[in-house]
Amino acid sequence: MAPRAGRAKVHKPKGEKKKKEEKTLPVMLDVTVHLPSGTQITLKGISTDRILDVRRLLAVNVETCHLTNFSLAHEIKGGRLRDSLEIAVLKPCVLTLVEEDYTEEKAITHVRRLLDIVSSTACFGPSGKQLTDTHDGSHKENSPSTEDSAKLGTSKSKGKSEAAAVIAEAKEASEKGDIDKLCPPSKLGQFYQFFSFSHLTAPIQCKNLLLKFCCFDLRPATFILQVRLCNGKLVTAVACTSGFYNAGKPQTKFYQLVNLLRHASKAFANAYDDLIKAFVERNKFGNIPYGLRSNTWVVPPTAAEAPSTFPPLPSEDETWGGNGGGQGRDDESVEKEWSRDFMVLARMPCKTDEERQVRDRKAFLLHSLFVDTCLVHATSVLKDAEQLPDVPLIDDRGHFLVKEAGSLNVLLAQDVTDASKKVDFKIDTIHSRQLTPEELSQKNLFKGIAADESTTVHDTATLGVVLIRHKKYMALVEARGLKEAQGMINLPNDLQVEEQAEGGANALNVNSLRSLLHQTASVSVDPEEVRKSRDVLQRIMAESLKGLQNESDRTDGFIRWELGACWVQHLQTQANSEKADAKGSNKQDPKKKTNEKLVDKKTVLEKTKPLDSLRDHVSDSQESSSASLEKPKEVDPLKVQSEAHLKSLLGDAAFTRLKESDIGLHSKTVPELVAGADQYYNDVALPKLVSDFASLELSPVDGRTLTDFMHTRGLRMRSLGRVAELSKKLPHIQSLCVHEMVVRAFKHVLRAMVAAVTHPSELAVSIAVALNAMLGTPSKESMLVSSNTSELLTWKWLEAFTLKRFGWTLSVDPRPELRKYAVLRGICHKVGVEIAPRDYDYQSPNPFSSADIISMVPVYKQAACSSADGRTLLESSKTALDKGKLDDAVAYGTKALAKLVAVCGSYHRMTAGAYSLLAVVLYHTGDFNQATIYQQKALDINERELGLDHPDTMKSYGDLAVFYYRLQHTELALKYVNRALYLLHLICGPSHPNTAATYINVAMMEEGLGNVHIALRYLHEALKCNQRLLGADHIQTAASYHAIAIALSLMEAYSLSVQHEQTTLQILQAKLGPDDLRTQDAAAWLDYFDSKAVEQQEAARTGAPKPDASIASKGHLSVSDLLEYINAEAELKRKELENIKRKPK
């Protein structure tokens, strides 16, 4: 029996303030809602939810998802409760759903909801149900065969010998690398399969779910619609204020359209019931596949089938009141006094958290409206420019053609046809074109070292600019008069901004501003057009390669403002560490205080290699400490002059903050600051980034997440080659860097091809030809015929470009090592290309045709505007979670969520990250139910607002799967974990730590279904992956050994479990030390397995009953809970033995 280990320290609240905070932590609440039908449902809510959240819960509940036009009432609070009312104040928490009268708009919305619900039967292609009957998402080869089941049965009888054979078989399969048999490669043609119910009969028989809509000026009728049902019956329904009725039968009204159609046709009723039943089987907790938008680079199958019309999904169908979301489509938004409003925001009070929250909310709303307005109107301007001749620069000084749209200036330019060059068109430079690159870098550095919670709002010059690219044109949209507004006086003290509807949901989907590339329904390939496009590509690549070879080497010394902020934070952390070390040494030996102070400081300085230019004064003052105490300090005139100069550049408030930070930057000259930032960049920031990658504190899965991690630390993407070089012991990071370099290079090739197109009808074939050159496999015949084909020139140029721009030398032929789908996805994101969901054959010279290229969408850049306080709280929650301080993590996470909800809204995409983090924190506390609710919210938002393959969406699938598993919904968990695995294989491939971690999760779930053989296969693949990518002594590798030990114990192979758990414990002791909770956990498991092995041997010798293996199912428990379970089990067995002894013989 494992000895009872000491519990981890519980972080108890100190003081009354902490106790009050603890009372505000969220708890689960049951919300009962009485329906008009006389029934009631109980929703699982959280104490921090509002009425708006209850409405959303009703919308994702299968029993009420068709309801749209209602209010909620409470017996005490009254009727028509406002959306912002917190449900915690409702005593009792019982609500009544009250049907409201329809207006025309609300009746149309109701019809759109029905179309949305049934869209999953026709819009998303094959469901895959016809192909397999396994647990949704698991591959057939994953399911245990009869032979495997027999093996499993014999393994339980034979124990160690059979388990050893199974584990040897799994190990051999992993060594051979045949992961494809276990988990076949993801196919793009299956992208929408997760959302499809095409195996069911569509309740409404209409190919694209479009109904005939006719407006009538009749009263009380609002409009008439015709619906053709699944059995061919045509129903003519009339909408009125009190509901719907069959034409000619106004006496029989139904408030819900679904009820009318049920009454009209039993076939519809059966088909609709089957669909609702399928929703429940898919996920009885919600996440219904409706309300989805075309917001991903892979278009829905219905759009690929009709590329000239691109039938919209119901949520975006303007016929039924849908749209691409967002605001700013009216002329009033264009005429708004943007410059004045941004200046009002900059001058609002912001000293306290409460003041900043009010200011940040208004800033968020105003900036969101500004960005939407810029995107909608600038895209329209760019589409108009396509009808005109080329838009050149006005002169050689770099002045662009300017068009005015209301109070906005739209600066237009056209891309160049040289892939090695690009137009200098950046947000940072729009108001600084008169500055040299060095001066611009200095300006950004000053902004960074002076940054605080209000930096974004105070920088109105950046806040009021949006950069947009569409096809071959660029538009830089700015609020007119930003400079002049800085001198305005008599500005109002406050600003009224229109609130967003639905808690920030349905933000602008930029893909809805797409330009279709096909004019006719039938897309035919013209060989002559293909040949011309290849000639154009060959010419572009030849000229670009020549220009790149003749280009002189240049250094990129550009400084991002985030670098300055991170540098200050690093110096503050370093100074605090030195102070703590000094305090510790003083307490240990007060007699040596004076002497050791200097020695310790010098030692720290040597070890950390701080910036010499920032610490020059330290060595001078340390030569004679006693003398310096006696002599008065002399004023250095140069120091005073440099401080005065820096103060004039930063401003009084920013300079005072910098001086009070006590890190010495305030007394440095501008050249010293630039040199210090450069030294910090190379010696600290880059190595620290790679160190975080190694520890898995950061784990990028694609170019987008890698870019975000680098940009938030102030790192330039030109440093990708350096990051790849530093990551030579992290193959997955090096591979990710190489892929991002390739994507960023090919982005210029595709843009050059688009810029060379003279007529919009040629765009699709030109893009297809370029993608074939990048991602196809040239035939041997073509390579023998000529060394100057467009394909070979493209790859020659790529090698030269990555060396020139990133300082990285590609392998001789990198094509076999590239993950083609990852490259394709990256290029589509950066250039704005939407393609059809097909399985492309990359072994072919021409995997793409013009029919595969559906449309182009705008790509834009903007300043991020949310809540700096909220982001800080999120980071604090993450830090507390990493340190095991769960109480603090929950408190910080709850505050962060409240802050972001107050600033961004409950259902905005920026709030989804806070839901997701708090879910993970609550999961670690053991509150699986509440964690699941938060993660479901995050997933619903991410799917609709970020995209179906966004990294955050993918993470939500994986986390939610684990939460479902902990709640004993194993088959449901497998559906979601397999979706996460599909996206991981598509985006980052099987060789990634996140993929390995997902393999372990799949294994857990397969264990839960009794498929131990399959679980061991996944576990060995995860172990092999972690050993290869992270090293044999990494903590993640230890996790793989532990998971295998658990699986083996289920087969009663306790001796093998002991071997694997010993390895786990050795790694954790070396990496974390004996006092870490994870090390104690491993020690407890090792003792348990060892005791079971002894019991098993004793049972074999004496013929006693076998030991119980059920404890293995508790592998997720913490060490304290695990030991409680073990000891409780032992106590139960002791009582059973005593009862047996008491029985008369």
Predicted TM-score (pTM) of this structure: 0.89
Cross-strand bridge partners of residue 228? 234
Look at residue 723 and give its three-state secondary structure: helix
Task: Using pLDDT thresholds of 50, 70 and 90, give the confidence band for residue 633.
Answer: low
Range from 350-364, 582-596, 711-725 carrying the lowest mean pLDDT = 582-596
Residue 796 to residue 482: CA distance in whole angstroms? 45
For residues 51 and 503, give the distance between their C-alpha atoms in angstroms, rounded to a whole number: 11
Residue 215, burial from CB neighbour count under 10 angstroms (0-12, 13-18, 19+) = exposed
Question: Residue 68, CB half-sphere, CA atoms under 13 Å: how many?
Answer: 22
Ordered alpha helix ranges (H), 392-507: 437-449, 455-458, 460-463, 482-485
452 close to 568: Cβ distance less than 8 angstroms: no
Angle between helices 909-925 and 886-904 (to 10 degrees): 160
Encoded tokens for 529: 């057009």
Which residue blocks in 489-592 are alpha helix, DSSP H? 527-550, 561-588
Residue 221 — φ and ψ, nearest 5°? -65, 140
Query: Do 717 and 1000 form a contact (C-beta atoms < 8 A)?
Result: no
Residue 609 has pLDDT above 50, yes or no: no
The tokens of 895 are what?
């505050």
Asked if residues 302 and 122 have their Cβ atoms less than 8 Å apart, the reply is yes
Q: Residue 319: pLDDT above 80?
A: yes
SS3 call for 212: strand
Q: Across all residues in the chain, what is the average pLDDT?
A: 85
Q: For residues 248 and 39, which has the higher predicted lDDT (pLDDT)?
A: 39
**What does the pLDDT read at residue 166?**
67
User: What's the average model confidence in pLDDT over 634-658?
Assistant: 86
Q: How far, in Å, CA of 933 to CA of 930, rounded?
A: 5
Please give the full DSSP string across 994-1005, using - where no structure is assigned. Answer: HHHHHHHHHHHH
Alpha carbons 393 and 408: distance in angstroms, whole number: 19
Measured at the CA of 724, the angle between CA 722 and CA 726, to 5 degrees, comes to 70
Tokens describing residue 541: 């690549």
Q: How far apart are CA 270 and CA 8, in angstroms?
A: 56
* 676 vs 320: CA distance, rounded Å: 59
> In which region does residue 321 sit, left (phi positive, over 0), alpha (psi from -120 to 50) or beta (all else)?
left
Q: How confident is the model at residue 1115 (pLDDT cuts 50, 70, 90)?
A: very low
Question: What is the tens place of the pLDDT at every residue in 887-924?
Answer: 999 999 999 999 999 999 999 999 999 999 999 999 99
Strands 94-99 and 28-34: parallel
Q: Report the candidate in 293, 501, 478 with the shortest Cα–Cα distance to residue 403.
A: 478
DSSP lists the bridge partners of residue 477 as 410, 466
CA nearest neighbour of 774 among 718, 728, 863, 840: 840
DSSP 218: -
Return the residue matching tokens 């245990």.
144
How many other CB atoms are there within 10 angstroms of residue 218's CB atom? Answer: 11
Give 408-433 as a DSSP string: EEEEEEE--S-TT------TTTTT-T
Cβ partners under 8 Å of residue 409, min gap 6: 402, 403, 477, 478, 479, 480
Q: Where are the alpha helices (DSSP H) in 141-224?
A: 146-158, 160-176, 179-182
Q: Concatenated DSSP letters for 820-836? A: HHHHHHHHHHHHTEEE-
- Report yes or no: 144 and 1013 within 8 Å, Cβ to Cβ: yes
Pairing of strands 473-479, 408-414: antiparallel
What is the Cα Rg of the chain in Å? 32
Q: Rounded to the nearest 10 degrees, how much is the dihedral formed by the CA atoms of 104, 106, 110, 112?
A: 80
432 exposure class (CB count in 10 Å sphere: 0-12, 13-18, 19+): middle
Q: How far apart are CA 685 and CA 713, in angstroms?
A: 7
Helices 257-264 and 266-282 sit at what angle, rounded to 10 degrees?
Answer: 130
Q: Give the C-alpha separation, 1087 to 1126, whole Å.
A: 11
**Residue 877: pLDDT band with limits 50, 70, 90:** very high
pLDDT for residue 600 is more than 70: no
469-513: per-residue pLDDT in tens? 999 999 999 999 888 888 787 888 889 998 998 899 999 999 999
Q: Are 318 and 112 in contact (CB under 8 A)?
A: no
Q: CB 10: neighbour CB atoms within 10 A?
A: 8
Torsion 946-952-958-961 (CA) sign = negative
Return the percentage of the chain with pLDDT > 90, whole number.
Answer: 65
Distance CA 651, CA 425 (A): 28
- Asked if 914 contacts 958 with a C-beta cutoff of 8 angstroms, the reply is no
> Which region among 390-399, 673-682, 1058-1067 has the lowest average model confidence (pLDDT)?
390-399
Alpha-carbon dihedral sign for residues 811, 812, 817, 821: positive
Average pLDDT value for residue range 685-710: 97
Give the whole-number percent of the chain exceeding pLDDT 70.
82
